């Protein structure tokens, strides 16, 4: 009998499923099956591989509402955002299906006569992907869809908290006709299964989204084995509000980015860098909006802010709030978990706003992954940019201003992988690269055509049709 683990609805603490946990042996078996299947898969023309993704996209589309409900049940995010996430999977399926008809290589003139030179993408073989619970469909699609269309086989470890979405996606691939052995899901709790994937010598690439701490461990093991590793490890994302900003827009942008998904996004806004000239107005208007937010079970369409994923996360968020108070930041609202009387056995945290935060405080430096925002006052545009960049992360940033010169200066100077102008810090589209600078990653990107760089190797091919042995660098006339 396999060991089972419970899947818990974070909105009410109820057990909604039990799933079997894999072990190291199953990882080894999955890799064996993947290796065999990949050899055939790589020979299937890419446009045909892509057909499967079109079918996956269509099934996701047909089942959008039902999948969104399941997603809300196991992850807690509100229905509107759950639908948005399924949509992100649909978009990625169609986009990567299109790549099946491109997968562009390059031709380059050869130095010698009657010689042809080209570079083509080839699959790497078996790849390992490790995905988080906060976007169980979207992030899985950013990684598995390009890997599959490029001709690889995938060993996928989804987060323990959200296995239902992984089951569903695997079933959809099966229904779409993906050959057995190309997508292999292994569940794990703790680090055993993840370590077995990272350490397996036949897995050539690891793509990981999750915490900085785990990402660094994975990177060092991959470094030891000379494996390619692509990492996305969070952010400390800021919205900058200048004096000349459209405040209606800025306030809506902050509220959505900070409290959407209860702040549990890598791209969530957790700092507001505000020009002193509009600080009081921004604070007042944020407080008014927060007052109107409805917190509760995401299945209720009127709810704006759903639960926190589990008790551990709730406690971590609260620890940061205590740290913020001790550091001397001013708590404007929130700062406490919501009580059982009103919210049942789910995990909820009040949307929290600190002001007069110093950029060096821990609540302004470390990722909290919850509905907690630090307002940092500044006196100039230059100071705003400097404060934005003075963190170890570099995922997303945003600026609200009506000065076109500042717009262009900001997109040049903000040191993050994603920059938004007059929009919040969340809402990345799948056909653009997703990832960040500094402690957020290691130079690779999810989604966008750039994801193919993670899951393919470049092969340079020379075809000499001169009929004689031409020696490069020597037989040049």
Q: Could you list the residues that contact ligand UN1 (CB under 6 A)?
A: 88, 134-135, 138, 265-267, 426-428
| Greatest alpha-carbon span in the chain | 87
Q: Which residues have a catalytic role annotated? A: 232
In angstroms, the Cα distances linking 57 to 77, 83, 182, 236, 382 are 22, 14, 17, 32, 45
The rounded distance, in Å, linking the Cα atoms of 315 and 256 is 23
Least spacing, CB of residue 74 vs ligand UN1, in Å: 16
The rounded distance, in Å, linking the Cα atoms of 224 and 199 is 10
Least spacing, CB of residue 253 vs ligand UN1, in Å: 12
- At residue 405, the 3 state secondary structure works out as helix
In angstroms, the Cα distances linking 190 to 161, 186, 232 are 11, 13, 19
Q: Would you give the DSSP letter of residue 410?
A: H
Least spacing, CB of residue 419 vs ligand UN1, in Å: 13
CA angle 5, 11, 14 (to 5 degrees): 40
Least spacing, CB of residue 26 vs ligand UN1, in Å: 28
**Nearest CB to ligand UN1, comparing residues 195 and 415:** 415
**Nearest CB to ligand UN1, comparing residues 183 and 418:** 418
The rounded distance, in Å, linking the Cα atoms of 94 and 54 is 6
**HSE on the CB side for 379, CA within 13 Å?**
0
Least spacing, CB of residue 235 vs ligand UN1, in Å: 8
- Sort strands 15-20 and 4-8 into parallel, antiparallel or unpaired: antiparallel
Least spacing, CB of residue 195 vs ligand UN1, in Å: 23
Cβ-contact 98, 50 below 8 angstroms: yes
**Nearest CB to ligand UN1, comparing residues 204 and 267:** 267
**Nearest CB to ligand UN1, comparing residues 81 and 283:** 81
Q: If we measure between CA atoms, which residue out of 406, 136, 412, 326 comes closest to residue 318?
A: 326
**Nearest CB to ligand UN1, comparing residues 265 and 279:** 265
Cβ-contact 74, 162 below 8 angstroms: yes
**Nearest CB to ligand UN1, comparing residues 27 and 373:** 373
Chain centroid to CA 390 = 22
């Amino acid at each position: 009998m396999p060991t089972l683990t419970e899947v818990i609805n974070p909105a009410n603490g109820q057990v909604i499923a039990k799933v079997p946990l894999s072990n190291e042996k199953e990882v080894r078996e999955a890799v064996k099956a993947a290796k065999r299947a990949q050899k055939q898969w790589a020979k299937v023309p890419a446009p045909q591989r892509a057909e499967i993704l079109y079918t996956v996209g269509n099934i996701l589309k047909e089942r959008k509402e039902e999948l969104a409900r399941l997603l809300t049940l196991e992850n807690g995010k509100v229905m509107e955002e759950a639908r948005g996430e399924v949509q992100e999977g649909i978009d990625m399926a169609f986009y990567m299906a299109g790549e099946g008809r491109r997968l562009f290589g390059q031709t380059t003139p050869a130095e010698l006569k009657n010689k042809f030179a080209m570079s083509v993408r080839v699959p790497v073989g078996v790849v390992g992907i490790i995905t988080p619970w906060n976007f169980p469909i979207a992030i899985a699609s950013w990684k598995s869809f390009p890997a599959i269309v490029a001709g690889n086989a995938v060993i996928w470890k989804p987060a323990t908290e959200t296995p239902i979405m992984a089951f569903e996606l695997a079933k959809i691939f099966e229904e779409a006709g993906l050959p057995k052995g190309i997508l292999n899901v292994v569940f794990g709790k703790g680090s055993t299964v993840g370590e077995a994937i990272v350490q397996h010598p036949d897995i050539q690439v690891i793509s990981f989204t999750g915490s900085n701490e785990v990402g660094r461990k994975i990177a060092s093991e991959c470094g030891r084995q000379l494996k390619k590793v692509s990492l996305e490890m969070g952010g400390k994302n800021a919205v900058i509000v200048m004096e000349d900003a459209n405040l209606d827009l800025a306030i809506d942008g902050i509220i959505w980015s900070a409290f959407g998904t209860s702040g549990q996004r890598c791209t969530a806004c957790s700092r507001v860098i505000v020009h002193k000239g509009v600080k009081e107005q921004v604070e007042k208007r944020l407080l008014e909006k927060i007052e109107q937010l409805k917190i509760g079970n995401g299945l209720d369409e009127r709810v704006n802010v759903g639960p926190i994923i589990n008790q551990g996360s709730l406690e971590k968020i609260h620890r940061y709030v205590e740290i913020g108070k001790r550091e001397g930041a001013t708590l404007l609202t929130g700062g406490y978990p919501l009580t059982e009387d009103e919210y049942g056995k789910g995990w909820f945290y009040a949307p929290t706003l600190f002001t007069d935060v110093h950029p060096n405080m821990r609540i302004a430096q470390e990722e909290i992954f919850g509905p907690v925002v630090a307002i940092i006052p500044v006196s100039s545009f230059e100071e705003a940019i400097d404060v934005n960049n003075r963190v170890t992360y570099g995922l997303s940033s945003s600026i609200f201003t009506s000065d076109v010169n500042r717009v262009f200066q900001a997109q040049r100077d903000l040191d993050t992988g994603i920059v938004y102008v007059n929009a919040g810090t969340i809402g990345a589209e799948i056909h653009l690269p997703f990832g960040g600078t500094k402690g957020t990653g290691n130079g690779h990107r999810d989604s966008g055509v750039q994801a193919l760089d993670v899951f393919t190797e470049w092969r340079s091919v020379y075809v000499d049709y001169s009929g004689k042995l031409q020696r490069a660098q020597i037989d040049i006339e």
